[in-house]
Structure 1
Amino acid sequence: MKKITALMLSSAMMLSLAACGGSASTDAVSSEAVSTAEAAPAALTTVNAGKLTMSTNAAFPPYEMTTDSGEFEGIDIDVAAAIAEKLGLELQVDDMDFDAALLAAQNGKSDMVMAGVTVTDERLKVMDFSDTYAEGIQSIIVKEDSTIASPDDLADKMIGTQRGTTGYIYCSDDFGDDHVTPYDDGLTAVQALNNGQVDAVVIDNAPAKEFVEANPGLKILDTAYAQEDYAIGVAKGNTQLLDAINGALEELEADGTLQAIVDKYINAE
């Protein structure tokens, strides 16, 4: 099968683009003054002044989730907050369905989308993406007594996925739409597996571990389904914001912040 790989989830990897530049002061008269002014960062134009608005789907642990008190937390939330701090902005998190989160960034309703988003050729046609900030794999969840032992065994089975995700796209491409049932979130897909409505669930490895831990009788297959990169999506052509995000990510990688965030939520294997 063309997308199968046995690689396991790794932590954050990075980055190469420099931080954004700025514009010269209208009062600058000497070449030295112009040079200094041009090196200063330009003020970012964002959807909400003074804020970095992030659209997400907070049902994707450990990347984004909601606490009992209604607060947002997770790898993406913490990374976004660190980026906002680097840019001198306040983070605003807007929770919605996964498809809607992508559209919000694409249409300029949010500044960026972070929801364990994978860069694909189709998505690159309608939005731009930052450098990779993490890698993940698509894993397969089955019942412990399932006869499914590898991705090849998914043929002619019913597969549950989260609507609009790469898991849905990959499985539809490989096995046909008739063998894939999309759900609004991963938890609902796992519940369908428990209820016998689907034979397996394909979802990112990190949330797969969370779901299996919370649902006795389920397991993750040793052989993964696909490997992919996570990145931050912004509106097509918004190079000012994209350069600023990449610059912030580069600094967060260099000072160890990204690794610390990953380690906070994902124990080292």
Structure 2
Amino acid sequence: MKNKRSIFSLAVSSLLAAVVIAGCGTAGSPSGTGQPAEQPQAGQEGTQPSGEKKTLIMATSADYQPYEYHDLSSGKDEIVGFDIDIAKYIGQELGYEIQVNDMNFDGLVPSLQSKRADFVMAGMTPNPDRLKNVDFSEIYHEAKNTLVAKKDSQITKPEQLAGKKVAVQLGSIQETAAKDLAKTVEGLQITSLNRIGEIVEEVKTGRVDAAIIEDHVAKGFVAKNEALQFTTIQSEESNGTAVAFPKGSPLVEDFNQVLKKMKENGEMDKLINKWFGDGQ
């Protein structure tokens, strides 16, 4: 009797152990290996529950009003702007939810290279250096660089920056423009900072003499600071804005098709008027 009970107990124990092992496999891993299920990453669509949209991760630097910025007017912190509206429209057309991740501008391209983001929208201009590392969509908006300075500074032209300090955003096309100016404007000193708000504050306090900022962004900051002014820097080079992707991303063509549609059906003009119009 003792021997039979031992055999019966062993059988029950083995059965329970099998159930526990199976339970561990199904709870943490679809493969039943007992390893934790891998979390979705940028560039990995994976299997989605029935009826749910796939998610694309958009990286941006939300300090670039009106392209993207933090809006607290509703009582909660929400990232809004021209680029955000375009991204949401594209997501709706292609069947994606858009998750917006805010980071410093100089971290945007690395986020694509490391697969932490599916695309970048941040008022970004395709330039030779960036094109070596990422792919771009077609240009969807044109802009120009401006000089932002105090009204009493009399700084309205690049040549007047000789011996002066100028602030720019780290990793931006404006930083590249400042470095190009430094080759011909004697004594020009460049201060590179992460955030546009910091840059404007440096101008206001006199720690720098001027800043180079994209025109639509400069317009918004100057409207809130009566002591400042901005003037357009004349240039034949394009400062067009495009969407950036990891090299070889299949999303480029899909995004281009929707951007083309937005230009043809008037949606792009509608958003341009919303964010850059005189009433903005």
Is the 1:193–1:199 Cα contact (8 Å) retained in structure 2? yes
3-state SS of 1:139 partner = strand
Deviation, structure 1 residue 64: 0.2
* Match of residue 92 from structure 1: 99
* Match of residue 244 from structure 1: 254
Q: Distance in 2 between matches of 1:243 and 1:163?
A: 29
Q: In proportion to residue count, which structure has more helix?
A: 2
Deviation, structure 1 residue 109: 1.3
Among 174, 188, 208, the alignment partner of 2:198 is 188
Is the 1:47–1:111 Cα contact (8 Å) retained in structure 2? no
C-alpha deviations, 1:65-112, integer Å up to 9, x for none?
111021111000000001111110001100010111221123321110
Among 97, 116, 122, the alignment partner of 2:123 is 116
**Greater relative contact order: 1 or 2 (C-alpha under 8 angstroms, separation 6 or more)?**
1
Give the length in aligned residue pairs: 224
3-state SS of 2:240 partner = strand
Q: Distance in 1 between matches of 2:109 and 2:68?
A: 15
Structure 1 residues not aligned, in runs of 5+ = 1-44
- 1:46 aligned onto 2:53: no
Matched residue type, 1:56: T
**Once superposed, what is the RMSD of the aligned Cα atoms?**
1.9
Among 183, 204, 207, the alignment partner of 1:197 is 207
Q: Distance in 1 between matches of 2:132 and 2:203?
A: 34
* Identical counterparts, % of pairs: 31
Matched residue type, 1:263: N
Matched residue type, 1:104: S
C-alpha deviations, 1:124-163, integer Å up to 9, x for none?
0011000000011111101001132311111221001111
- Please give the residue correspondences for 1:248-263 in structure 2 after superposition, counting only pairs within 5 Å: 248-263=258-273
Q: Distance in 2 between matches of 1:102 and 1:215?
A: 32
Among 184, 208, 211, the alignment partner of 2:218 is 208
- 1:128 aligned onto 2:143: no
Q: Distance in 2 between matches of 1:52 and 1:164?
A: 24
3-state SS of 2:143 partner = strand
Matched residue type, 2:270: A
Is the 2:149–2:230 Cα contact (8 Å) retained in structure 1? yes
Matched residue type, 2:163: D
3-state SS of 2:142 partner = strand
* Match of residue 241 from structure 2: 230
How does the TM-score come out when normalised to structure 2? 0.76
3-state SS of 2:112 partner = helix
Deviation, structure 1 residue 178: 6.5
Deviation, structure 1 residue 214: 1.2
Is the 2:58–2:117 Cα contact (8 Å) retained in structure 1? yes
- 1:147 aligned onto 2:154: yes
* Match of residue 137 from structure 1: 144
Among 107, 111, 114, the alignment partner of 1:107 is 114
Among 159, 168, 177, the alignment partner of 1:170 is 177
Deviation, structure 1 residue 223: 4.4
Matched residue type, 1:247: Q
3-state SS of 2:191 partner = strand
Deviation, structure 1 residue 52: 1.7
3-state SS of 1:140 partner = strand
Matched residue type, 2:215: N
Is the 1:159–1:180 Cα contact (8 Å) retained in structure 2? yes
Is the 1:63–1:76 Cα contact (8 Å) retained in structure 2? yes
